[in-house]
Amino acid sequence: MTTRRIYLQMKGIAEARELFFSRLAWESLAASEEIPTLAARGRVTAAPVWARWSSPAVHLAAAATFGATPERPRRLALGREAIPVNTGHLMPPGADAVIMVEHVPDPEADPITVEAPVFPWQNVRRVGEDLVAGEMVLPEGVEITPWAQGALLAAGVTRVTVRRRPKVIIIPTGAELVPPEELGGELPEGRLPEFNSVILAGLVEEAGGVPEVWPVVPDDAASLTQTLKRAVAGAEVVIINAGSSAGSEDYTYQAVAALGEVLVHGVAMMPGKPTLLGLVEGKPVLGNPGYPVSAVLSFEQFAAPLIAALSGRRLTPRARILVHPSQNLPSKPGITEFVRVTLGRVGEKVIATPLPRAAGAITSLVRADGLLEVPASSEGLEEDRPVYAELLVSPEDLEGTLVVLGSHDNTLDLLATLLRRRDPRLRLSSGHVGSLGGLMALRQGRAHLAGSHLFDPETNTYNIPYLQKYLAEMPLKLINLAWRQQGLMVQPGNPKNIITIRDLTRPEVRFINRQRGAGTRILLDYLLKVEGLDPAAIQGYEREEYTHMAVAANVKSGTADAGLGILAAARALGLDFVPLTPERYDLVVPEATFHDARFQTLWEVIRSPEFAAAAAALGGYDLRDCGAIVWEQK
Amino acid sequence: MTTRRIYLQMKGIAEARELFFSRLAWESLAASEEIPTLAARGRVTAAPVWARWSSPAVHLAAAATFGATPERPRRLALGREAIPVNTGHLMPPGADAVIMVEHVPDPEADPITVEAPVFPWQNVRRVGEDLVAGEMVLPEGVEITPWAQGALLAAGVTRVTVRRRPKVIIIPTGAELVPPEELGGELPEGRLPEFNSVILAGLVEEAGGVPEVWPVVPDDAASLTQTLKRAVAGAEVVIINAGSSAGSEDYTYQAVAALGEVLVHGVAMMPGKPTLLGLVEGKPVLGNPGYPVSAVLSFEQFAAPLIAALSGRRLTPRARILVHPSQNLPSKPGITEFVRVTLGRVGEKVIATPLPRAAGAITSLVRADGLLEVPASSEGLEEDRPVYAELLVSPEDLEGTLVVLGSHDNTLDLLATLLRRRDPRLRLSSGHVGSLGGLMALRQGRAHLAGSHLFDPETNTYNIPYLQKYLAEMPLKLINLAWRQQGLMVQPGNPKNIITIRDLTRPEVRFINRQRGAGTRILLDYLLKVEGLDPAAIQGYEREEYTHMAVAANVKSGTADAGLGILAAARALGLDFVPLTPERYDLVVPEATFHDARFQTLWEVIRSPEFAAAAAALGGYDLRDCGAIVWEQK
């Protein structure tokens, strides 16, 4: 029951691929089939295709035309010496040249007068001008575009031999999984949604394969082995998801080893380490990791090139651009790490801001604009030192992106939606690094604007003293977004009866904090100081989250009893809320950004009735100063 | 019956688009629909999507793990104080941290000993770590990737509101057309294959629309008007192909004007001029030109952006690279011209070689690697002066391309196929500019190698004297491809009894010639000189074609009675052949090319039994010297 396997010998990506691909019997796996040309778009020719007919198949008039004539002005009787004919139509029998109607002074007359010279076969598309019967229309190994389809039909080729799309069976494993078709209601207690198979099926199609998702197999070696045996008999490729890591119930290794051979178990990549590559009855079997980001990245390295090669496609590598990491990214040497980043051009540089690195965070892929690869030979990437990123969005998307870093507020999501609705070329990319983090980002040229709600007790104002301290040299405008309600988020019904900031020091109350530099953290420390309370007395003071919603999620799930945050976040998760103080949330807008047309559009959105209505619906926002320039620094 | 229309006022591309798009009621044309998330890949969100659940929905073990422990070494009873748990599995009730199995000295013991420190919630994926219920999963207006599908399902979102794909009805017109489904047999006399609708349907799908091809409508105004009326009632967009040019039977203008409004008739682009843009009952109607290349290019300018906008997609512009035209490309000012080119990197430059410019030449699109745009403001492009090209192939394709310019030989197609079969990354791109043209291309660095069969009567040798004259400074190798049979191609049965070169001067014999600089032309002139014949005595001496196959096609179709060429071309079209002389066809290979790994692979192919067998099957080739280095210049 407890047969555990630490990865036997972890391989590098290239080595793993070589070990795997060099053992495949490519020729027997790749097959071809004859299909109608009408259904061949996107398929790859398996042999050269030769024209059955010439194209055009008959002589055709090549311009809007009207009769034939020698060089000197001459009269031609209509219907006998000259016959009207339209572009693309057949040449009348006996005619061997065409003159354009524009060159006939009066085309309605009879006889017509023609003045332009013409030589034999002028303005005639002769038989075979484009394609001669017996000529090659398409070579072997090319993808059939819509116009290639047209050329094939023009040449009378109605059936074409193409590479077969390999069938790829995907086997989800795990007794706790609820299949995607059954996710419409509530999730049963203790069950998890299965969605990796949907992701993998989409990726299989995009690589050129035909996916077939099988029912979830429970975690036991016998079931998986049996299922794998059947799958291998009916597919060119089998993907088991998951069950390739080192836990006691990871039976992929056992199943593949029992039926065939494990070639690779564990790849030096992150995410994606628990990848297994094997062979069963000559068929490639991939044990794909269970975390969704790992599943995708492992697929891209091993399954995608395999499926593409079998289907005859060549994968187009993603575009790469030079980017500047917004922070140091230490990484374990010996392992290739793929970091998901958001990207935005600020001034001359494209800034790459890392998203959460956890392999379970599927949203880190959804939100990513690019992928940074930290090579196995490296100990990480350095802040601001340029590296190449693979683009997950189009280069145009980057040019339309405004980067806002700093404090998190729920209305930023609203702004992003409304901005895109106003101009689909524009995107608002927000990174949550806390208010002070946002000011630092502006100072270093890593963001277009920053969200900030830094309270200064001495002057009893927001943001301005901090701007004077940290961005003294920068001409900028401070534009209000909203006043919002800060307070304690507690479980519904407030079971621990948390009413004041002092209640946080009670021994049975577990707190969840925001990170250093966050405006909310600064507010908490200020409130504690006013009350004369010691942070060390608060259980959980050292546990940090980066957003209001993450704090709320901790309270919601019971890992904490209280957290400081905004009403909108508490309301979004159905938590109770104990209001403590209103605070001003502003956007810090450097002059360079202020005069940027993209920001001007954003500013219009901020001052629109649509934004006011949507923010009001979130709760806890007072928009009396919304959009106003509250302060300027020249 | 003869209501003709010359284009009323031809518009520039941008102006035409503006006139058209500014009149569309975008909001009523674009619709949204709710569909299952499982079917949403590739669709575009019509509204922001919010998480219904948190993800993960329960606390999960985050590493291959085994129990919990305080900082100092301690013993924990299995099953009570410590519970085995696998990565990705649910946390057992009461547990609030996880320690990795690798940190437990003997995981099989009971009690276990643990030495590593752990803090609350370490190695636990807490509820909502990735996504919190109520958080935005996807903003409005983004394309749903496989991983976005996964994120939606992880968040319990099983149905999603997306932009509807617009229905696009395509109406082919022309009584002479045979629909694509009926092209399997022989083409009936006087009929033409219809294939534009297949091309357009593919392009509609790729732009994000749902195409529906209607039956061919005959050329009459009443039928087309009636059909258009029905189509407009059932689609968001209607495309009529063709019938927008200035001929007498082009009824698209009449139909659109009768039912609605013609906004643009004639666009200053080439190919693509006969484009009509109109509105009928608020629906956009496009009259698409009849020549296939025009149809595609007009579609790309007007229909593609329209359909993409309605479906919410954004079209990814093609990659652009700087290329050097291989020759001057004069172009009419006032008209934007799109020139299809083949591309290949020779040394530091990417050389763009124009393909036939005729709009009827669908193969010019099929063979194209790129598109050059000659702006309306320009009189053309200059040889070797760099311009941007849009790429139709991947940048990797260019790196794998060997460019052979010069004389045409049918075995070059064979070589291309066999080369690609040996290494799918390699392509052989051949341009037919005649033997001398190939030598000039080598001199100017526009090709990797050249095909040549230049006979020198004084030395009675091939190629060498020409190389000494034109490429004296260039170290190179001359490698034989084949000896081949040159002769007269005549109609089957040789009805005009053409036996010798002298027969070409008979008054009833119409000849078709090769272009100046072609080895075959030089051979002809030599044979005429030997016989003391005057070229002016040959009817058709001044009619030039660029390939053996084109010459053969002229004979086949009856526009000529004889042409000089190779046996393989005559045989491909079923012509009779009067042999005149064997000749040597060589490849001229500069040293730089010779040492290129790509050429080495090609050379292997040339010397392979597969090539020998395939060339022999074409007929007329003698391979005794095939692959041999016949001469070297240091």
Chain A residue with minimum CA distance to B426: A141
Q: Is the pLDDT of residue A425 over 60?
A: yes
Give CA separation, A137 vs A128, A134, A156, B92, B369, in Å: 12, 9, 11, 65, 15
Give CA angle at A280 (A266, A46), nearest 5°: 105
User: Average pLDDT in the A91-116 region?
Assistant: 70
B417–A139 CB contact, under 8 Å = yes
Q: A2-11, A78-87, A405-414, B439-448 — which is least confidently predicted?
A: A2-11
CB A295 within 8 A of CB A289: yes
| Helix boundaries (H) for A22-53 | 26-29
Q: Which chain A residues contact residue B86 at CB under 8 A? A: 247-250
Name which of B141, B146, B195 is nearest A150 (Cβ-Cβ). B195
Give dist(CA B190, CA A158) in Å, integer: 20
Phi/psi of residue A581, nearest 5 degrees: -160, 145
Name which of A86, A202, A366 is nearest B247 (Cβ-Cβ). A86
Q: What is the pLDDT of residue A28?
A: 86
With cut-offs at 50, 70 and 90, classify the pLDDT of residue A123. Answer: low
With cut-offs at 50, 70 and 90, classify the pLDDT of residue B197. Answer: very high
Name which of A101, A199, A290 is nearest B87 (Cβ-Cβ). A290
The separation between CA B632 and the C-alpha centre of its own chain, rounded to angstroms, equals: 38
Q: What is the pLDDT of residue B102?
A: 66
pLDDT, averaged across chain A: 88
User: Average pLDDT in the A319-332 region?
Assistant: 89
CB A96 within 8 A of CB A120: yes
Name which of A151, A242, A416 is nearest B362 (Cβ-Cβ). A151
With cut-offs at 50, 70 and 90, classify the pLDDT of residue B434. Answer: confident
Q: What is the pLDDT of residue A2?
A: 38
Q: What is the pLDDT of residue B124?
A: 67
B64–A247 CB contact, under 8 Å = yes
Q: What is the pLDDT of residue B64?
A: 46
Chain A residue with minimum CA distance to B358: A130
CA-based nearest distance B41→chain A, Å: 7
Q: What is the pLDDT of residue A606?
A: 97
Q: Which chain B residues contact residue A413 at CB under 8 A? A: 48, 135-136, 139
> What are the residue ranges spanned by the domains of chain A?
13-27+166-183+190-311, 32-55+130-163, 319-392, 436-633
With cut-offs at 50, 70 and 90, classify the pLDDT of residue B356. Answer: confident
Q: Does A109 touch chain B (CB under 8 A)?
A: no
Give dist(CA A470, CA A442) in Å, integer: 10
Name which of A198, A554, A559 is nearest B149 (Cβ-Cβ). A198
Q: A139-153, B12-26, B348-362 — which is least confidently predicted?
A: B348-362
B187–A156 CB contact, under 8 Å = yes
Q: Output helix, strand, coil percentages for chain B, rounded to the nearest 5.
A: 30, 30, 40
A360–B552 CB contact, under 8 Å = no
Q: What percent of chain A has pLDDT over 70?
A: 89
Q: What is the pLDDT of residue B421?
A: 83
Q: Is the pLDDT of residue A453 over 50?
A: yes
User: For an interface test with B, which of A320, A363, A421, A605 has the most B Cβ atoms less than 10 Å from its Cβ?
Assistant: A363
CB B586 within 8 A of CB B407: no
pTM exceeds 0.90: no
Q: Does A132 touch chain B (CB under 8 A)?
A: yes
Q: What is the pLDDT of residue B541?
A: 95
User: Average pLDDT in the A314-325 region?
Assistant: 89
**How many other CB atoms sit within 10 Å of the CB of residue A102?**
13
B417–A140 CB contact, under 8 Å = yes
Q: Which chain B residues contact residue A54 at CB under 8 A? A: 553, 556-557
CB A203 within 8 A of CB A303: yes
CA-based nearest distance A73→chain B, Å: 23
User: Average pLDDT in the A360-379 region?
Assistant: 90
Q: Is the pLDDT of residue B235 over 60?
A: yes
Q: What is the pLDDT of residue A152?
A: 96
B572–A199 CB contact, under 8 Å = no
Q: What is the pLDDT of residue A335?
A: 92
β-strand partners of B85: B65
Q: What is the pLDDT of residue A112?
A: 75
B125–A89 CB contact, under 8 Å = no
Q: Does B78 touch chain A (CB under 8 A)?
A: no
Chain A residue with minimum CA distance to B140: A417
Q: Is the pLDDT of residue A316 over 60?
A: yes
CB A228 within 8 A of CB A238: yes
Span B500-512, pLDDT tens digits: 999 999 999 999 9
> What CATH number should be reported for the domain whose range is A436-633?
3.40.190.10
β-strand partners of A486: A566, A581
Q: Is the pLDDT of residue A581 over 60?
A: yes
Nearest to A178 by CA among A170, A164, A189, A169: A189
CB B58 within 8 A of CB B130: no
User: Average pLDDT in the B105-117 region?
Assistant: 70
Give CA separation, B93 vs B52, B59, B80, in Å: 24, 10, 11
B420–A86 CB contact, under 8 Å = no
Higher pLDDT, B181 or B353: B181
Q: Which fold has domain A13-27+166-183+190-311?
A: Molybdenum Cofactor Biosythetic Enzyme; Chain A (3.40.980)
A573–B4 CB contact, under 8 Å = no
A101–B53 CB contact, under 8 Å = no
Q: How is residue B267 annotated by DSSP?
A: B
> What CATH number should be reported for the domain whose range is A319-392?
2.40.340.10
Chain A contacts in chain B segment 456-475 (CB below 8 A): none
Q: Which fold has domain A32-55+130-163?
A: Molybdopterin biosynthesis moea protein, domain 2 (3.90.105)
Q: What percent of chain B has pLDDT over 90?
A: 59
A132–B552 CB contact, under 8 Å = yes
Chain A residue with minimum CA distance to B52: A186
Three-state secondary-structure class, residue A446 = coil
CB B486 within 8 A of CB B581: yes
Which CATH architecture describes the domain B321-385? Beta Barrel (2.40)
Q: Is the pLDDT of residue B193 over 60?
A: yes
Q: What is the pLDDT of residue B55?
A: 78
Q: Which chain B residues contact residue A149 at CB under 8 A? A: 195, 198-199, 202
Q: Name the burial class of residue A348, with classes exposed (0-12), middle (13-18) and buried (19+) by CB atoms within 10 angstroms of its CB.
A: exposed
Q: What is the pLDDT of residue A548?
A: 85
Give dist(CA A20, CA A307) in Å, integer: 13
B196–A150 CB contact, under 8 Å = yes
Q: Which chain B residues contact residue A303 at CB under 8 A? A: none
Name which of B147, B199, B296 is nearest A366 (Cβ-Cβ). B147
User: Average pLDDT in the A11-34 region?
Assistant: 92
Three-state secondary-structure class, residue A404 = strand
Q: Does B54 touch chain A (CB under 8 A)?
A: yes
Q: What is the pLDDT of residue A245?
A: 55
The separation between CA B455 and the C-alpha centre of its own chain, rounded to angstroms, equals: 37
CB A546 within 8 A of CB B128: no
β-strand partners of A125: A60
CA-based nearest distance B380→chain A, Å: 22
Q: Which chain A residues contact residue B139 at CB under 8 A? A: 413, 416-417, 420
Cis check for the bond before A242: say yes or no (omega within 30 of 0): yes
Give dist(CA A196, CA A571) in Å, integer: 30
Phi-psi region of A567 (alpha: psi -120 to 50; beta: other; left: phi over 0): alpha
Give dist(CA B587, CA B473) in Å, integer: 18
Name which of B132, B366, B416 is nearest A553 (Cβ-Cβ). B132
Span A242-256, pLDDT tens digits: 765 555 456 899 999
With cut-offs at 50, 70 and 90, classify the pLDDT of residue A446. Answer: confident
Q: How is residue B299 annotated by DSSP?
A: I
Give CA angle at B343 (B342, B346), nearest 5°: 140
Q: Is the pLDDT of residue A596 over 70?
A: yes
Name which of B141, B248, B394 is nearest A420 (Cβ-Cβ). B141
Which amino acid, B160?
Answer: V
**CA neighbours closer than 13 Å in the CB half-sphere of residue A623:** 17
Q: Which chain B residues contact residue A310 at CB under 8 A? A: none
Give dist(CA B415, CA B29) in Å, integer: 51
Span A54-69, pLDDT tens digits: 777 766 665 544 444 4
CA-based nearest distance A241→chain B, Å: 12
Phi-psi region of B406 (alpha: psi -120 to 50; beta: other; left: phi over 0): left
Q: Does B105 touch chain A (CB under 8 A)?
A: no
User: For an interface test with B, which of A34, A366, A415, A491 has the most B Cβ atoms less than 10 Å from its Cβ?
Assistant: A366
Higher pLDDT, B89 or A187: A187
Q: Does B618 touch chain A (CB under 8 A)?
A: no
Residue with tokens 């900082």: B71
A292–B150 CB contact, under 8 Å = yes
Q: Is the pLDDT of residue A607 over 90?
A: yes
Q: Is the pLDDT of residue A585 over 60?
A: yes
Q: What percent of chain B has pLDDT over 70?
A: 90
Q: Is the pLDDT of residue A476 over 90?
A: yes
Phi/psi of residue A586, nearest 5 degrees: -115, 160
Sequence-separated (6 or more) residues with CB below 8 Å from residue B527: B501, B580, B581
A133–B424 CB contact, under 8 Å = no
Span B23-61, pLDDT tens digits: 998 888 889 999 999 999 999 999 989 899 877 776 666
Which amino acid, A452?
Answer: S
Q: Does B399 touch chain A (CB under 8 A)?
A: no
Cis check for the bond before A457: say yes or no (omega within 30 of 0): no
Q: Does A3 touch chain B (CB under 8 A)?
A: no
Q: Does B180 touch chain A (CB under 8 A)?
A: yes
Report CA Rg, chain A: 34
Q: Which chain B residues contact residue A572 at CB under 8 A? A: 132-135
Residue with tokens 């199995």: B101
pLDDT, averaged across chain B: 88
Q: Does B134 touch chain A (CB under 8 A)?
A: yes
CB pairs under 8 A between A and B: 359
A195–B102 CB contact, under 8 Å = no
Q: Does A321 touch chain B (CB under 8 A)?
A: no
CB A493 within 8 A of CB A577: no
Q: How is residue A30 annotated by DSSP?
A: -
A54–B192 CB contact, under 8 Å = no
Longest dimension (CA), chain A: 111
Span B253-305, pLDDT tens digits: 999 999 999 999 999 999 999 999 999 999 999 999 989 999 999 999 999 99
Q: Which fold has domain B13-27+166-181+191-311?
A: Molybdenum Cofactor Biosythetic Enzyme; Chain A (3.40.980)
User: Average pLDDT in the B91-106 region?
Assistant: 70
Q: What is the pLDDT of residue B69?
A: 44
User: Average pLDDT in the B451-473 region?
Assistant: 94
Sequence-separated (6 or more) residues with CB below 8 Å from residue B16: B264, B267, B275, B277, B301, B302
CB B336 within 8 A of CB B375: yes
Q: Is the pLDDT of residue A514 over 80?
A: yes
Residue with tokens 């996880």: B98
With cut-offs at 50, 70 and 90, classify the pLDDT of residue B67. Answer: very low
Longest dimension (CA), chain B: 112
Span A268-301, pLDDT tens digits: 999 999 999 999 999 999 999 989 999 999 999 9
With cut-offs at 50, 70 and 90, classify the pLDDT of residue A576. Answer: very high
